Structure 1
Amino acid sequence: MTREFTGWHMLALMVGGFGIIIAVNLTLAYNAVATFPGLETRNSYVVSQKFEADRAAQNALRWDMTSTLEGGVLTVAIADKDGNPVQPKVVDAILGRATHTGQDEVPQFTWNGTALTAQVAANEGYWNLRLALEAPDGTPFRRRIQLTAK
């Protein structure tokens, strides 16, 4: 015995199919918004007004920066234009994933004579280090460094 395929069957297939698509899209949209780490700045216009001056002052320092994240040790080495190590004041530092803030931590840097080092709880993978430093002459220095933990 064969059943006849009616308009109601087609309607049920269409509503069910599109219902699944809409449910998946809503779930993905909710998760994207719920895990968004947040804004970089509250008012981008105000920040943009002094961006070029800040960048020129930062570039005038002519610092060469290298960073590593291995075995739970975060190392940030900064050298001046002559290759001498620089010990800046750490104003702010956040180490975290690019996609969510759940694993963010504030590294407690110490100076070892040539670089800033900190013990961190970073698993293997990709990390972002957001640094705000101050040069010995008071010049602010900001950098976002992408790291791969090994």
Structure 2
Amino acid sequence: MSHAEPDTRPGFRITGWHVLAGVVGFFAVVIAVDVVFTVLAVRTFPGTVSVTPYEDGLLYNRKLARIAAQEELGWRAAAAAEPLAVSLEVRDRAGAPLSGLAVTGRLERPATEQDRKALTFREVSPGRYRAPAGGLSGAWDLTVEARDPAGRSLEAERRLTWP
């Protein structure tokens, strides 16, 4: 029978210094990656949303005034997507159809500024207006403005979906 000699070579043992080096190394990598991402984010977006914030605020105040005037009129609009057109129905506070309006609008994709379409509506029956839109598919945002001969106006926005 042969007798095996015990291995007297010292083996690798994990000590407290190894654990400390691993933890410090891990957090050093995490902090370095965070610093790189933060620097890249700040360089690519300086935080400026508008170069004319004061003027934008004035335009917004005017829009709020138009909305308040529109609420006083009590006009309501309902839009629908038809196979090749957009239909719009405009009624006054009492629910009576509003005739003789000049109605314009535009269609645009919700997520992009491409494929904007200008619309010109014509009255097809009292209070009901229609604009040809062509063969559309998917979701579109409709913005319309209806103005009567006295200068009173209605602005409305709707999301329409075609199959």
The TM-score with structure 1 as length reference comes to: 0.64
**Number of residue pairs matched?**
115
Residue in structure 2 matching 1:106, options 107, 118, 126? 118
- The residue number in structure 1 matching 2:60 is 48
Q: Distance between the aligned counterparts of 1:68 and 1:102, measured in 2?
A: 22
Contact map agreement 2:75 2:154 (CA 8 A) in 1? no
Larger RCO (CA within 8 A; separation ≥ 6):
1
- The residue number in structure 2 matching 1:142 is 155
- The residue number in structure 1 matching 2:73 is 61
Asked which structure has the greater CA Rg, the reply is 2
The TM-score with structure 2 as length reference comes to: 0.59
Q: Distance between the aligned counterparts of 1:42 and 1:74, measured in 2?
A: 36
Equivalent position SS for 2:72: helix
Segments of 5+ residues of structure 1 without an aligned counterpart are: 1-17, 23-28, 30-40
Q: Deviations over 1:22-71 (max 9, x none)?
A: 9xxxxxx9xxxxxxxxxxx9932111333332222101111221110121
Segments of 5+ residues of structure 2 without an aligned counterpart are: 1-32, 38-43, 45-52
Supply the AA of the counterpart residue of 2:71. N
Supply the AA of the counterpart residue of 2:144. L
Matches within 5 A, 1:10-29: none
Q: Percent identity?
A: 20
Query: Over the residues paired in the alignment, what is the CA RMSD in angstroms?
Result: 2.8
Structure 1 runs of 4+ aligned residues shifted over 6 Å read none
Equivalent position SS for 1:51: helix
Does 2:128 align with 1:128?
Answer: no
Q: Deviations over 1:75-122 (max 9, x none)?
A: 0101112221113222x4111211223221111211012311011124
Does 2:58 align with 1:81?
Answer: no
